[in-house]
Structure 1
Amino acid sequence: MTGAFSYRSYFSHFHSRPSHLRRYQPRPGDTSSKFTSGNGTRCIAWTRYDGSVYIVPEHEEPSPIVEAIMNGNDELLRSKLKSGENLLEKNEDGWIPLHECAYYGQLKCLKLLIKAYPGTIDVRTMNEETALYLATNRNHVDCVQLLLESGAEPDIANKARVTPIYKACERQNAEILKMLVKYNGDVNHRCNQGWTALHEAVSRNDLEIIEILVQAGAKISVSNIYGISPLFVAAQSGQLDALKFLIGHGADVNSQASDKATALYEACKNGHAHIVEYLLSENADANIPGKNGLLPIHIAAQCGHKETVCLLIPVTSRARIRRSGISPLHLAAERNRDETLEELIEAGYDVNSTLSYERSRMYEDRRSTPLYFAVSNNNIYATELLLKAGAHPNVDLINPLLVAIRQGCIKSMKLLLAHGANINAYIAAVPSTFPATIMFSMQYLSLLKFLLDQGCDALSCFTCEYGSGEHPPLQDISPREDFPQRNTKPKFVQFCEMVSTPKITRWAGPIIDLLLDYVGNVQLCSRLTEHLDSYEDWAVIKEKSSKC
């Protein structure tokens, strides 16, 4: 889905800490170890209870003013003010003591500084954060209340355009949110990505926060820059309570994001069966495709969400599936989703459905059937499942049997042959005078013998248009599965040309020897004779041919 993005993790990087906090203030239970960095700096690594590690320079300490604020020493701060000391000096991050007070939640110190410097209440850090933003971010309720009562602006955003209201929702602090709303904070403010406080609250399934926002005028159907509404967020993250609330307050269950995906589509992709079930009960349309033409059942099958697929089968139009040019069977087979494949077959999906021309041409080998996907994945179980359900093994332009031969998978070959695969399959786009099954098995004599035992046409290998006469110079020939350029007339490849390719010529004698065991009287062409004459040990093969 376009714009599927962790906004919470994105915005969590946009609240700064004062420079001294990079040196980290240890708490009870924290452990430390000292080391010297590569540039010779002495450092301390603090390990917290949650496993997080802070690495700080050993020698740096907070300033006396900051240390006083951290410790709540309002008497020292008062004496500094009385002495006329300037407490408006910014540190390297643009923080003044007012910001430190808000960050540490030191209410008495904060009162002193607001009284002394009332015009600094909305001063911003280098990251555009105000004291109100910092206090909100740290859940200091009393500091937030004091700042608001003292005239702090509730809607000043940081560099990412994140406001205190958004932070209150992120921190799930309903008390602070109510204060900000009371002081006319904008509940519909958008961040850089168009994300609102309601998006955030919904992603956390916090009904109390959601209700406060909606009662304060938050728009239910607001969308971010990707067209994602709060309803979409609820479906995407599996938040059923939030989803019910939004639908109950008029959210459009079939609204689409910028990439045409619906909430149902996204819930299917993420495997939230309980969300899918509820959306369907609220008349969500299972037949709205995304911009890629895929329906919710396609994406559920592709992701292997069996329970979700079962919910979608009775409400998905087979005609819409045909119109998409691809069956859920294709996607289940492509991703080896065997259980989902079983459910779709059991539901009567056509195992012989083929990809549309547009979708087939997306694959270099022009594959078309679910069976081809299963064989190309070397998935024996899925191959057998499809064949037993009636899959025809000779539909694709390149026969799946040829793919099994290239993989050297005897099990797949046996399954395909047992269900009618053409033992003498050819490739129309790369025509030859002998079966492509032989072409693809030449380097594997055991496979070649297996195919010959099954009745593969060995005699065609000795039919040569040049006979005992002179053969034209060899061209670059190899057993490939690609397609010739348009307007190029394909040339029929002969067996004698194929065994003359660099990769196969050293096997020419044994290959001819094996083929001779399955034919009657044959006359070797001059090129095959030349091959047998090139190695002394192959003289016996030449004699064998004359006896056939």
Structure 2
Amino acid sequence: LQALALFEQPVHVLKQRLRSRCGQTRYRQRLLSQDGRILGDTAQLPAAGDLQLLILPLAPATETKADELIAAAANDATNEVEALLQMPQDPDLPDGDGDTALNLAAAFGCNDSLELLLEARADASQRNGHGLTPLVAAAANGRLGTTRLLLEAGASPNPEDKDSETPLFAAARSGHWEVAELLLSQRADCEHTTKSGMTALGLAALGGHSDVARLLLEARVEIDRVNAAGETPLLIASRDGQGDVACLLLKAGADADKETRGGQFPLLAACEGGHLDVVRLLLEAKSMVDRTGPDLQTPLMVASRCGYTEVVCLLLEKRAMESLHTWQHVCSSLS
């Protein structure tokens, strides 16, 4: 005890050390001096005498107290969080939506409150009413530090929500590449698919998040995996005009002509949207310019019908170059 007296908050430090012996957090511990005084966490240790350790049960659960803790955590009001946990209160009590204090602290990046809740053994994997864990909430909102704290606390990097999406999907959808990078370093499953067959790479392509796409490609994900509609990440990027992602995918070897069961393919999708830069990329990747899709429509026919003049000119230029090369080859053969 004399050695502990050198610390700024010796009672706090002693309780943390006792945790490994009694198996309870400091919030459920009470230290009594010989004269029967309860020593608060900020108190000084008595100069002499033995201390008695009491372990308190959790206080009866009430909706009011649960809401108070959740609101305090969501606003990073650490003094209120500390006081409520000292009751001691169950940190995992949910509100009417199934959200816990840890869930909202993670969503809002309230790391000081989050650390107190984790110290109180809040469940880092508890799901809310929508099946979302604190890690998903942190990843979706780009909370890098929060994500790191939860992973260090033992949260699984691969929990699935009701749609089978994981924290990596949440980061990919919102373009939070640093969070995605951290999750991948902790063995997040980069090949996981949702119930609809969507991949994290597909979500990155959908949102045009090239930094996330680059990370996933460096992790060697399957580049042409299709979703339930038969769409590859390249087709998704082409359809939505995400040129940076399309460029990355093509450089990484994506199949420029892979089609869906309905006959849709990247060049046709890009032409339907009038995405000139993507059309140019696909033509440079040797995508077949006269290939037909649904209703026997070629990319040129689709671009013409939609009035995309620049796309039409680019396609005609490509056809002219191919005709010239064919003619030169024929002449060379004849000579």
CA–CA separation in structure 1 for the residues paired with 2:260 and 2:318: 19
Q: 1:187 to 1:119 in 2, by over 3 A?
A: closer
In the other structure, the counterpart of 2:76 is 139
CA–CA separation in structure 2 for the residues paired with 1:381 and 1:246: 42
Check if 1:374 corresponds to 2:303.
yes
C-alpha distance after superposition, 1:161-200 (max 9, x if no partner): 0000011112212111111111111111111221110011
CA–CA separation in structure 2 for the residues paired with 1:380 and 1:210: 47
Contact 1:228-1:257 at 8 Å conserved across structures:
yes
In the other structure, the counterpart of 2:279 is 341
Q: 1:257 to 1:150 in 2, by over 3 A?
A: same
Contact 1:121-1:147 at 8 Å conserved across structures:
no
Q: Secondary structure in 2 aligned to 1:244?
A: helix
In structure 1, what residue type is equivalent to 2:289?
V
C-alpha distance after superposition, 1:286-313 (max 9, x if no partner): 1100111010000111111112111111
Q: Secondary structure in 2 aligned to 1:130?
A: helix
C-alpha distance after superposition, 1:44-90 (max 9, x if no partner): xxxxxxxxxxxxxxxxxxxxxxxxxxxxxxxxxxxxxxxxxxxxxxx
Tell me the CA shift for residue 318 of structure 1: 4.9
In the other structure, the counterpart of 1:535 is none
The one of 232, 243, 253 aligned to 2:190: 253
CA–CA separation in structure 1 for the residues paired with 2:87 and 2:306: 68
The one of 275, 282, 288 aligned to 2:212: 275
Tell me the CA shift for residue 204 of structure 1: 2.7
CA–CA separation in structure 1 for the residues paired with 2:265 and 2:130: 35
In the other structure, the counterpart of 2:290 is 352
Tell me the CA shift for residue 390 of structure 1: 1.5
Aligned pairs (5 A) from 1:79-478: 122-125=61-64, 129-314=66-251, 315-318=253-256, 320-321=258-259, 325-355=263-293, 360=294, 366-390=295-319
| Count of aligned positions | 263
Structure with the greater relative contact order (CA < 8 A, sep ≥ 6): 1 or 2? Answer: 2
Q: 1:319 to 1:304 in 2, by over 3 A?
A: closer
Q: Could you say which structure has the higher helix fraction?
A: 2
Q: 1:119 to 1:202 in 2, by over 3 A?
A: closer
CA–CA separation in structure 2 for the residues paired with 1:130 and 1:329: 53
In the other structure, the counterpart of 1:57 is none
Could you list the runs of 5+ residues in structure 1 that have no partner in the other structure?
1-117, 361-365, 392-548
Q: 1:292 to 1:381 in 2, by over 3 A?
A: same
Contact 2:74-2:110 at 8 Å conserved across structures:
no
Larger Rg: 1
Contact 1:235-1:264 at 8 Å conserved across structures:
yes
C-alpha distance after superposition, 1:386-424 (max 9, x if no partner): 122118xxxxxxxxxxxxxxxxxxxxxxxxxxxxxxxxx
Q: Secondary structure in 1 aligned to 2:319?
A: coil
Q: Secondary structure in 2 aligned to 1:390?
A: helix
Tell me the CA shift for residue 343 of structure 1: 1.4
CA–CA separation in structure 2 for the residues paired with 1:277 and 1:159: 40
CA–CA separation in structure 1 for the residues paired with 2:59 and 2:114: 23
In structure 1, what residue type is equivalent to 2:303?
A
Contact 1:122-1:130 at 8 Å conserved across structures:
no
- Give structure 1 regions of 4+ aligned residues with deviation exceeding 6 angstroms: 118-121
TM-score, length of structure 2 as denominator length: 0.74
Tell me the CA shift for residue 123 of structure 1: 2.4
Aligned-pair identity (%): 26
CA–CA separation in structure 1 for the residues paired with 2:115 and 2:145: 11
